A and B are shown apart, each in its own frame.
Chain A
Amino acid sequence: KAGVTQTPRYLIKTRGQQVTLSCSPISGHRSVSWYQQTPGQGLQFLFEYFSETQRNKGNFPGRFSGRQFSNSRSEMNVSTLELGDSALYLCASSFGGSGANEKLFFGSGTQLSVL
């Protein structure tokens, strides 16, 4: 069974540009969550999509957006990049059931560097 796949693995952009990251969840998983990881800050929750709808959202500016397709694949977009957006962006998938017991399965992340 294939794991969570994130592309690309590395990205280098300049300030002001926009970027799109992609995540393919484990087959059968309907929930995809995105996290930003920076040194000292740990994992910060961006948003979660379930059945093509945003179900939960973290405290990030509107420059960060996402979407989910009918096959559960998800994309995350960051517009007008800032230096502080440099981070490892992790995608996690799960079945998406109700309750707090859902286990997250993570991809290897996309390392974004903004110059």
Chain B
Amino acid sequence: AQKVTQAQTEISVVEKEDVTLDCVYETRDTTYYLFWYKQPPSGELVFLIRRNSFDEQNEISGRYSWNFQKSTSSFNFTITASQVVDSAVYFCALSEARGSGNQFYFGTGTSLTVIP
């Protein structure tokens, strides 16, 4: 079973529209972290946000906002007034402590295309 599910495989929006990328996770740990990464065509995953399991406050950073709800095991990502530069593949990830380190589980990614 997938520990991180991103049900939206591909999304297309017109520039300046808002778009929400969904992420649902599964874990039995009480302490865990959730991440969002952006992968532009260059291939390198770029870190966007990290959220720990005890902090359910929503976060806003410029045009980006994140909605973390433990009750529904969701960590959704919204881009407001989308721009062409937002076109990329976005990955949601769950990190759990394992032994002396941690284990990451990535979703299958959502490919976002912003049409000018």
A interface residues with partner B (beta carbon < 8 Å): 3, 31, 33, 35, 40-43, 45, 48, 50, 55-56, 88, 90, 92, 96-109, 111
Minimal Cβ-Cβ distance residue in B for A97: B101
B-side interface mostly: strand
CA A97 to CA B37, docked complex, whole Å: 20
A-B contact pairs, 26 of them (CB 8 A): A3-B44, A31-B101, A40-B108, A42-B108, A43-B91, A43-B106, A43-B109, A50-B101, A56-B99, A90-B43, A90-B45, A96-B101, A98-B102, A99-B97, A100-B31, A100-B33, A100-B102, A101-B33, A102-B95, A103-B50, A104-B45, A106-B44, A106-B46, A107-B44, A108-B42, A108-B44
Which chain B residues border A50 with CB–CB below 8 Å? Answer: 100-101
CA distance A113 to B32 in the complex (A): 35
- B107 and A101 contact, CB distance less than 8 A: no
Chain B CB count within 10 A is highest, among A3, A42, A48, A99, for A42
Distance (Å) between the CB of A102 and the closest chain B CB? 5
The answer on a CB contact under 8 Å between A109 and B44 is yes
Chain B residues with CB under 8 A of A101: 33, 50, 52, 95, 102
Flag if B43 contacts A109 (CB, 8 Å). Answer: yes
A10 to B64, CA, bound (A): 33
For chain B, which range describes its interface: under 10, 10 to 19, 20 to 34, or 35 or more residues?
Answer: 20 to 34
Residues of B within 8 A of A40 (CB): 9, 108
Question: Which of the listed residues A31, A40, A97, A98 has the most CB atoms from chain B within 10 Å of its own CB?
Answer: A98
Asked if A55 and B50 make an inter-chain contact with CB atoms under 8 angstroms apart, the answer reads no
B43 contacts A108, C-beta separation under 8 Å: yes
Do A98 and B97 touch (CB < 8 A)?
A: yes
Using A45-B103, A108-B42 as known contacts, list a sample of 13 further A-B pairs with CB atoms less than 8 Å apart, ordered by residue number in A: A45-B104, A45-B105, A50-B100, A92-B45, A98-B102, A99-B97, A99-B102, A100-B32, A101-B33, A101-B52, A104-B47, A104-B104, A106-B45
| Shortest beta-carbon distance from B114 to chain A in Å | 20
Q: Across the interface, which residues of A come within 8 angstroms of B95, CB to CB?
A: 100-102
